[in-house]
Amino acid sequence: MSEPSGIHVVDYDPSWPRQAAIAIDALRAAAPGLFVEIEHIGSTAVPGLAAKPVIDLMAAVYDLTHATPHQAALADLGFHPHDNGMTDRLLYVRADDGVRSHILHVVTLASWPTRNQRIFRDYLRAHPEDATRYTSLKRAIVAAGTGPGEYARAKTALVQELTNRARTQLGLPSVPVWEKH
């Protein structure tokens, strides 16, 4: 399949969880005591789900300012600060050989239990029929030539629908999944 947009959605790679675990171990070793929680999130964390081959991680800290003294250690692992318009977290991107390979979302521990990315991941793991819908949508977006800047927005309606369902099941109110300002 030709992907004129530059976005590549590939079949699930069973090595993704191992890649995430290696990165998590390295992050914990490089910044001892910083991360209270850290998990593999995103499509690469859902067995069987097609995804962009980028490992998304989410880590919780007591306060976002606690990450500042660890910037050099994170950079030594290839994780560099990235501003993409999200104001409720710190974002770090790692590019291996010039290709984005990992994204680290650093959030507060207080917000951890209600983070949409974690809730959405768990919902897709438990609902394979909706994971299939999500894969089909992602492949259609790429096939249509949607550019990298619009890829996430093009998925928003379905992600919102499924996240609302998941949050309802957890007794949580619906909140917007689009987090960029």
Whole-model pTM: value is 0.93
- Residue 4 has a pLDDT of 39
Percentage with pLDDT > 90 across the chain: 84
Place of tokens 């501003």: 83
* Mean of the per-residue pLDDT values of the chain: 93
Q: Percentage helix, strand, coil, to 5, in the chain? A: 50, 20, 35
Place of tokens 């081959």: 53
* Alpha-carbon separation of residue 162 from 149, 153, 175 (angstroms): 22, 15, 12
Taking the chain, what is the end-to-end CA distance rounded to the nearest angstrom?
Answer: 33
Could you tell me which CATH number the domain at 16-169 has?
3.30.460.10
Instruction: For residue 111, give every residue at least 6 positions away whose Cβ sits within 8 Å of its Cβ, in sequence order, or none.
Output: 60, 88
pLDDT in tens, 8-56: 899 999 999 999 999 999 999 999 999 999 999 999 999 999 999 999 9
Other CB atoms within 10 Å distance of the CB of residue 150: 13
Instruction: For residue 156, give every residue at least 6 positions away whose Cβ sits within 8 Å of its Cβ, in sequence order, or none.
Output: 177, 178
Instruction: For residue 18, give every residue at least 6 positions away whose Cβ sits within 8 Å of its Cβ, in sequence order, or none.
Output: none
Output the CA torsion sign for 123, 128, 130, 133.
positive
pLDDT in tens, 56-87: 999 999 999 999 999 999 999 999 999 888 88
Element at 96 (helix H, strand E): strand 90-96
Output the CA torsion sign for 127, 129, 133, 135.
positive
